[in-house]
Amino acid sequence: MFSIIQAAGWPIWPLVACSILALALVIERFSSLKIRKVAPPKLVDEAITVSRNAPPAPDVVEQLEQNSVLGEVLASGFRALNANPRLSEDDLRSTLEGAGRQAAHKLERYLSALATIASAAPLLGLLGTVIGMIDIFGSQAGSGSVGGNPAQLAQGISMALYNTAFGLIVAIPSLIFWRYFRARVDWYLLTMELASERFARHLNTLRK
């Protein structure tokens, strides 16, 4: 592997850095976008159960907030109602919507970086290809023989091909994972929106 990197020349090092960063982002997103960390299936039912007659105690709200991303949204509704039991329905929904926007920002974190790598990697590979072609023409121009300098010619060709291939090797998985995470985040956002709507109706019954 190291011999391939050496043959590809210095233009491949930005691609190596992109590949390491993309791998780190994919691992982080897989860890952060687990369903138990974002939207546990029974969480809304449990939150409604513990607040059947009145908003729960602050320690219960804190536990709910630490449970998951959806828990943070639900806890914001409890906190708003504890702070002002006569809170209007519009203000209550605005509180949940604000918490939902913060949750969406947290779920979409690093996705733009992964998309940037997927877009930039082919361009970096193309840059290495162009530099390899420049080396090829430079070896031809600097040699008095008809066939040019074979060693520099081979080096330029290998640099061009390795950078092109490595750019695609980095870009294709990055694009696939970005699309996967994008679809997963969209599904989570829809789930949280439906859960928040149901929870808002429940909180409305607790207002005094």
- Would you state the structure tokens that stand for residue 32, as one six-digit string? 């952060």
Q: Give residue 77's Cα distance to chain centre.
A: 27
Least confident interval from 65-79, 142-156, 176-190, 194-208: 142-156
The band of 12, judged by pLDDT with boundaries at 50, 70 and 90, is confident
| pLDDT tens for each residue of 62-110 | 999 999 999 999 999 999 988 888 888 889 899 999 999 999 999 999 9
Give the integer Cα–Cα distance in Å for 60 and 67: 11
Give the integer Cα–Cα distance in Å for 192 and 101: 11
- Enumerate long-range contacts of 200-206, CB under 8 Å, 24 or more apart: 200/77, 200/89, 200/92, 200/93, 200/96, 202/48, 202/51, 203/77, 203/78, 203/81, 203/92, 204/89, 204/92, 206/51, 206/53, 206/54, 206/55, 206/81
**Which DSSP state fits 109?**
T
Give the integer Cα–Cα distance in Å for 37 and 33: 7
- Would you state the structure tokens that stand for residue 193, as one six-digit string? 């929106």
Residue pair 35/41 in contact (Cβ under 8 Å)? The answer is: yes
Q: What proportion of the chain, given as a percentage, has pLDDT over 90?
A: 57
Sequence letter at residue 91: D
Whether residue 121 is predicted with pLDDT greater than 90 in this model: the reply is: yes
Task: Give the pTM.
Answer: 0.84
Whether residue 192 is predicted with pLDDT greater than 90 in this model: the reply is: yes
Whether residue 165 is predicted with pLDDT greater than 60 in this model: the reply is: yes
Classified as helix, coil or strand, 68 is coil
**What average pLDDT does this structure show over 143-157?**
61
The band of 8, judged by pLDDT with boundaries at 50, 70 and 90, is low
